[in-house]
Amino acid sequence: MSTTTAPTPLSRSKALRSSRLTLIFGSRAQGHVRKPWIAAAVAALLVAALASLLWQRERRGAVVGVEVLNVSPPRARLYSRVEIDLNVTGYAGNPFDPDDINVTAFFRDPSGEVVAVPAFFYQGYRRILIGNTERLEPVGSPVWKVRFTPTKVGRYEFYVEAVSRGSSARTPVYSFEVEPSDSPGFVRVSQRDPRYFEFDNGTSRFFVGLNVCWSGSRGTYDYDEWFRAMAASGVNLVRIWMAPWRFGIEWKQLGRYDLEEAWRLDYVLELAERYGIRVILCLMNHGQLSTQANPQWSENPYNRARGGPLSKPEEFWTSEEARNLFKKRLRYIVARWSYSTSLLAWELWNEVDLTDNYMSVRESVARWHAEMAAYLKRHDPYKRMVTTSFANPNLDPLVWQLGEIDFITVHKYGPEGFQDAAGTLYDVVRRAWDRYRKPVLVAEFGVDWRWEGLADKPLYYLDREGVGLHDGLWATVMAGSPATAMSWWWDNYIHPYNLYHHFRAIASFLEGVDPAAAGFKRLEAEVVLPSDLSGEELADVVVYPSLGWARPQESYFVVRLDGAVEGDVSQIPSFIQGAAHPDLRNNPTFKVTFPRGGRVVVHVNSVSRAGAVLAVYVDGGLAKRVDLPDRDGKYDAFAREYDMDVAIEVPPGTHEVKLDNLGVDWYTVDYVRFEGAALKRARVRVYGLTNGTLALVWVKNPDATWWNAIRNASVEPVRDVTIRLAGFSDGDYLVELWDTWKGAVERSWTERASGGFLTIRLESVARDLAIKVKRAG
């Protein structure tokens, strides 16, 4: 076959013969046909026959035709694209509507299995940058295409069928050869360790991710620049939206797809493949069905005011007409882009809980997700993963428990409840895995959810070093996520501040690790405390609440002398609720030991318009009461309305400290500081993964946070730290000490494990460091 002329079909005796409703491959003298092809042929031809019976009287004279113009390349490689150009004639109506014209290719692989791949209507373009704006110019005439990725080596055979209301046509049978390649294939949930992803060839890796959801006026030229920088820094996973303003194909007209935006997405996916970057493709964003949160409902072609079938956004979930229209869009998306091994997963929605009246229709939303995810899995020839997302990280089990949803995504932002980004994200991942037993990916995060204009100065602009970004990347991997957390603010923060070195550092540390094969477990580690505490210098323990507007599932926490907090710290609320919200009220109690006495300091940020009353109880007795009347008339929970400390003296010993609210509505807390409640040289956080012979460890100074960085707070190094790691077989181990900001080994040495423990002494932890432990020899 040539890439410039039509390929030569197999012998006519191998063509489809609709008059007999049979499909024959090989000589008739063989006396049988291959069973997979019988099923495929009968199904396809019955559809054509039924369509003919229904429409032939009304549509006499309309005769559809289809011919193969080109197959490229003539010899394909495993997991690489085969593209077939088609000439489809004699149909009327909408080329995007399979009820008007349905074109499908049927492929038989070397083992005899048959897969159906829909064709799609295509227009080529040439891009031009005029000033700072991308323009697309059409190239040639529209054409139909089929895109297919072979998953086996050997000889493939295919034919194409077109059906259009009373008429059908088929091409002869063609063939092409598939050669081996070094591509690992598509990405799946690992069968060996379902916390992780793995490729079709059985290998796995940690992914290093970043959002690049849309471009500016430069269009695809932005991605040229971004992907070049990302690939050089080890980024191999991105997230892209099919948004109304970029890459969305059904916004200008219902049922008629935007071929310019489709071409742009073609370009970006091909660019991703060249750079070795995988893509999570988000199909819908919340604003399309919202009149409140980034509202776009007034512009939505599904809106009855614009000629659509829906009078209000929430009808989208239950309207049969809307669901059928959306499935047709899914069919086009599958036809055009499912071939790409760069496409890691379909994400049905971005932050679906921000659509109108979500809580009243959440069961319908869950049913919709089950239906559409199942549709994708039936029609995507490569059965790739499907997910979705919520703005509230505590939602929604109705969706996450669905068998059709393959992995969990979490969106988590500050500033509320995010001053300790590392601890917050670590616990978010751990909690979601424990609940759902599916891979957990933090698909969006940032130290401040607000954008410029909404806030005078979003706090990420003040974090010029990227401390919050850095902590998010390392914490999520150590929690058992298949990928680093994926930062938002790519175009106005990551790229202009040139923070790519953070990705390069963790990518270097993780290089060569096969997580699905490793058999990792959470690292059990402790800081070794001295037996005599009398001469030890004491330090403070600062707890940063991380739970937003939700009822805490836990309310009792233990603060240890090494500064660690026992309990699920992701459930420490930033909103301390009063009487107005009994359904959310489960205010926290802390058990704390003060060797020489100390103070509890509560930092109050803001209060509801109804006011609140702060109350602190020590060992059951009211130790402090502060009236907090509304000062600013706002419901802004983090407007720094009070921005003040409330302090309580506590005598030596172990005490229970309860934070409560005796008023009507909520107040918010930035942090609770327990002064003199930890040993200074023991106060580090140790996170990690191990399998007994390999360990990935991250040791962090808890004061080295983005919150302290933007306030220019002094951070003292923690010196002379000894940590004990559990679960190691006895023997010698190579210990590598890594600089997490440079992505380089600072020094290495050999340590001996004994009695199941490996003990490591660290001279100093200024901000953080990483340790890689490998069996010696």
* Number of neighbours of residue 27 by Cβ within 10 angstroms: 10
Give 612-645 pLDDT, tens digit per residue: 999 999 999 999 999 999 999 888 887 889 999 9
Residue with token string 């990792």: 520
Give this prediction's pTM: 0.88
Distance between CA 506 and CA 470 in Å, rounded?
Answer: 9
Is the torsion defined by CA of 288, 290, 292, 293 positive or negative? negative
pLDDT at 357: 98
Give 357-394 pLDDT, tens digit per residue: 999 999 999 999 999 999 999 999 999 999 999 999 87
Distance between CA 398 and CA 527 in Å, rounded?
Answer: 40
Residue 99 vs residue 7, higher pLDDT: 99
pLDDT at 62: 67
Distance between CA 450 and CA 319 in Å, rounded?
Answer: 34
3-state DSSP call for residue 113? coil
Give mean pLDDT, residues 86-95.
96
| Whether residue 213 has pLDDT greater than 50 | yes
Q: Hey, what domains does the chain have and what are their CATH numbers?
A: 12-179 (2.60.40.10), 187-518 (3.20.20.80), 522-527+682-775 (2.60.40.1180), 538-681 (2.60.120.260)
Distance between CA 486 and CA 344 in Å, rounded?
Answer: 15
Residue with token string 């890459």: 247
Rounded mean pLDDT of the chain?
A: 91
| Whether residue 262 has pLDDT greater than 70 | yes
Q: Output the DSSP codes for 478-508.
A: HTT-SB---BS-IIIIITTTT-THHHHHHHH
Contact 563, 621 (CB under 8 A): no
Give 714-729 pLDDT, tens digit per residue: 999 999 999 999 999 9
Residue 317 vs residue 536, higher pLDDT: 317
Give 752-775 pLDDT, tens digit per residue: 999 999 999 999 999 999 999 999
Contact 164, 170 (CB under 8 A): no
| Whether residue 45 has pLDDT greater than 70 | no
Q: How confident is the model at residue 543 (pLDDT cuts 50, 70, 90)?
A: very high
